Amino acid sequence: MLVTNHVLSGAVIGAAARRPLPAFLIGVASHFVLDAMPHWGQWDDDERFFRVAVADGLTGLAAMSLVTRGVLKGGQAGGSGSGRGRLAASVLAGMAGAALPDLDKPSDMLLGHQLWPDAVNRFHRAIQDEAPHRFFSHEVVAAAGFALTAAALIRRRMAR
Protein backbone atom coordinates (compact mmCIF):
# COMPACT_ATOMS: atom_id res chain seq x y z
CA MET A 1 0.00 0.00 0.00
CA LEU A 2 1.23 3.48 -0.74
CA VAL A 3 2.54 5.31 2.32
CA THR A 4 0.12 8.14 1.55
CA ASN A 5 -2.75 5.73 2.20
CA HIS A 6 -1.12 4.62 5.44
CA VAL A 7 -0.87 8.30 6.44
CA LEU A 8 -4.52 8.98 5.59
CA SER A 9 -5.68 5.87 7.44
CA GLY A 10 -3.58 7.03 10.40
CA ALA A 11 -5.48 10.33 10.36
CA VAL A 12 -8.73 8.38 10.65
CA ILE A 13 -7.26 6.37 13.52
CA GLY A 14 -5.98 9.46 15.31
CA ALA A 15 -9.32 11.24 15.02
CA ALA A 16 -11.14 8.18 16.34
CA ALA A 17 -8.65 7.23 19.08
CA ARG A 18 -8.61 10.72 20.66
CA ARG A 19 -5.30 10.14 22.47
CA PRO A 20 -1.81 10.08 20.94
CA LEU A 21 -0.37 6.85 22.39
CA PRO A 22 -3.26 4.57 21.40
CA ALA A 23 -3.44 6.36 18.04
CA PHE A 24 0.26 5.69 17.43
CA LEU A 25 0.10 2.01 18.44
CA ILE A 26 -3.08 1.31 16.48
CA GLY A 27 -1.54 3.18 13.55
CA VAL A 28 1.48 0.84 13.56
CA ALA A 29 -0.78 -2.23 13.71
CA SER A 30 -2.99 -0.85 10.93
CA HIS A 31 0.02 -0.65 8.64
CA PHE A 32 0.37 -4.41 8.58
CA VAL A 33 -3.38 -4.97 8.22
CA LEU A 34 -3.47 -2.68 5.16
CA ASP A 35 -0.37 -4.26 3.64
CA ALA A 36 -2.05 -7.68 3.90
CA MET A 37 -5.01 -6.41 1.86
CA PRO A 38 -4.88 -6.40 -1.95
CA HIS A 39 -3.08 -3.28 -3.20
CA TRP A 40 -0.94 -1.90 -6.00
CA GLY A 41 2.66 -2.98 -6.39
CA GLN A 42 5.09 -5.51 -7.89
CA TRP A 43 7.80 -3.37 -9.42
CA ASP A 44 9.64 -4.17 -12.62
CA ASP A 45 12.89 -2.78 -11.27
CA ASP A 46 14.40 -0.77 -8.42
CA GLU A 47 14.50 2.43 -10.48
CA ARG A 48 10.72 2.43 -11.02
CA PHE A 49 10.12 1.58 -7.37
CA PHE A 50 12.39 4.46 -6.33
CA ARG A 51 10.55 6.97 -8.56
CA VAL A 52 7.19 5.91 -7.15
CA ALA A 53 8.50 5.77 -3.57
CA VAL A 54 9.95 9.28 -3.70
CA ALA A 55 6.76 10.78 -5.13
CA ASP A 56 4.62 8.83 -2.67
CA GLY A 57 6.84 9.71 0.29
CA LEU A 58 6.65 13.41 -0.53
CA THR A 59 2.89 13.16 -1.02
CA GLY A 60 2.57 11.38 2.33
CA LEU A 61 4.59 14.10 4.07
CA ALA A 62 2.47 16.78 2.41
CA ALA A 63 -0.69 14.99 3.57
CA MET A 64 0.63 14.82 7.14
CA SER A 65 1.42 18.53 7.05
CA LEU A 66 -1.90 19.57 5.51
CA VAL A 67 -4.02 17.44 7.84
CA THR A 68 -2.15 18.61 10.94
CA ARG A 69 -2.29 22.24 9.83
CA GLY A 70 -5.98 21.87 9.04
CA VAL A 71 -6.69 20.62 12.55
CA LEU A 72 -4.61 23.34 14.20
CA LYS A 73 -5.87 26.24 12.06
CA GLY A 74 -9.38 25.02 11.27
CA GLY A 75 -12.52 24.72 13.25
CA GLN A 76 -13.25 28.41 13.67
CA ALA A 77 -16.92 27.57 14.18
CA GLY A 78 -16.39 25.39 17.21
CA GLY A 79 -13.98 23.65 19.54
CA SER A 80 -11.34 25.19 21.75
CA GLY A 81 -7.74 25.85 20.80
CA SER A 82 -6.48 23.33 23.37
CA GLY A 83 -8.98 20.78 22.02
CA ARG A 84 -7.54 21.30 18.54
CA GLY A 85 -4.05 20.79 19.97
CA ARG A 86 -5.04 17.48 21.55
CA LEU A 87 -6.80 16.41 18.37
CA ALA A 88 -3.78 17.41 16.26
CA ALA A 89 -1.45 15.40 18.54
CA SER A 90 -3.66 12.33 18.27
CA VAL A 91 -4.05 12.63 14.48
CA LEU A 92 -0.33 13.23 13.99
CA ALA A 93 0.50 10.24 16.20
CA GLY A 94 -1.87 8.02 14.20
CA MET A 95 -0.33 9.15 10.92
CA ALA A 96 3.23 8.68 12.21
CA GLY A 97 2.49 5.22 13.57
CA ALA A 98 0.79 4.12 10.37
CA ALA A 99 3.74 5.28 8.24
CA LEU A 100 6.54 4.12 10.56
CA PRO A 101 6.99 0.53 9.28
CA ASP A 102 7.77 1.83 5.78
CA LEU A 103 10.73 3.91 6.97
CA ASP A 104 12.78 0.78 6.38
CA LYS A 105 12.75 1.43 2.63
CA PRO A 106 14.39 4.88 2.53
CA SER A 107 16.76 3.87 5.31
CA ASP A 108 17.92 0.81 3.40
CA MET A 109 18.01 2.40 -0.07
CA LEU A 110 19.56 5.76 0.87
CA LEU A 111 21.62 4.98 3.94
CA GLY A 112 22.32 1.28 3.51
CA HIS A 113 21.01 0.73 7.03
CA GLN A 114 18.32 -1.79 7.95
CA LEU A 115 15.97 -0.27 10.56
CA TRP A 116 14.00 -3.31 11.63
CA PRO A 117 15.14 -6.81 12.64
CA ASP A 118 15.19 -9.50 9.94
CA ALA A 119 12.08 -11.17 11.39
CA VAL A 120 10.06 -7.95 11.05
CA ASN A 121 11.30 -7.40 7.48
CA ARG A 122 10.48 -11.00 6.49
CA PHE A 123 6.99 -10.68 7.97
CA HIS A 124 6.43 -7.32 6.28
CA ARG A 125 7.45 -8.73 2.88
CA ALA A 126 5.46 -11.95 3.32
CA ILE A 127 2.11 -10.29 4.01
CA GLN A 128 2.14 -8.06 0.91
CA ASP A 129 -0.71 -8.74 -1.53
CA GLU A 130 0.44 -6.66 -4.49
CA ALA A 131 -0.51 -6.62 -8.15
CA PRO A 132 0.39 -4.10 -10.87
CA HIS A 133 -3.23 -3.53 -12.03
CA ARG A 134 -4.61 -2.22 -8.72
CA PHE A 135 -3.64 1.45 -8.75
CA PHE A 136 -7.04 3.02 -9.48
CA SER A 137 -9.25 0.24 -8.16
CA HIS A 138 -7.46 -0.05 -4.82
CA GLU A 139 -5.00 2.77 -4.08
CA VAL A 140 -7.03 5.71 -5.42
CA VAL A 141 -10.29 4.38 -3.95
CA ALA A 142 -8.59 3.80 -0.58
CA ALA A 143 -7.07 7.31 -0.61
CA ALA A 144 -10.45 8.89 -1.31
CA GLY A 145 -12.17 6.82 1.36
CA PHE A 146 -9.54 7.51 4.01
CA ALA A 147 -9.36 11.23 3.20
CA LEU A 148 -13.14 11.69 3.31
CA THR A 149 -13.49 9.66 6.52
CA ALA A 150 -10.64 11.54 8.20
CA ALA A 151 -12.12 14.89 7.18
CA ALA A 152 -15.56 13.93 8.52
CA LEU A 153 -14.21 12.62 11.84
CA ILE A 154 -11.92 15.59 12.34
CA ARG A 155 -14.67 18.06 11.49
CA ARG A 156 -17.00 16.30 13.94
CA ARG A 157 -14.40 16.33 16.70
CA MET A 158 -13.61 20.00 16.14
CA ALA A 159 -17.30 20.96 16.32
CA ARG A 160 -17.55 19.64 19.88
What are the pLDDT digits (tens) for 61-103?
999 999 999 999 875 544 556 788 999 999 999 999 999 999 9
Q: Is the pLDDT of residue 110 over 80?
A: yes
Beta strand 129-131 with 38-40: parallel, antiparallel or unpaired? parallel
Give dist(CA 138, CA 88) in Å, integer.
28
Tens digits of residue pLDDT in 2-61:
999 999 999 999 999 989 999 999 999 999 999 999 999 988 888 999 899 999 999 999
In the chain, the amino acid numbered 78 is G
Partners of residue 39 on adjacent β-strands: 130
Pick from 75, 45, 61, 83: which is nearest to 8 by CA?
61
Determine contact, residues 160/79, Cβ cutoff 8 Å. Answer: yes
- Mean local confidence (pLDDT), 120-142: 96
Count CB atoms within 10 A of the CB of residue 29: 14
pLDDT at 150: 98
Give dist(CA 43, CA 23) in Å, integer.
31
For residues 140 and 80, the model is more confident at 140
pLDDT at 77: 46
pTM: predicted TM-score of the whole model, two decimal places:
0.93
pLDDT at 79: 52
Question: Backbone phi, then psi, for 44, in 5-degree steps?
Answer: -65, -40
CA angle 87, 7, 103 (to 5 degrees): 120
- Fill in the DSSP letter of residue 40: E
pLDDT at 44: 84
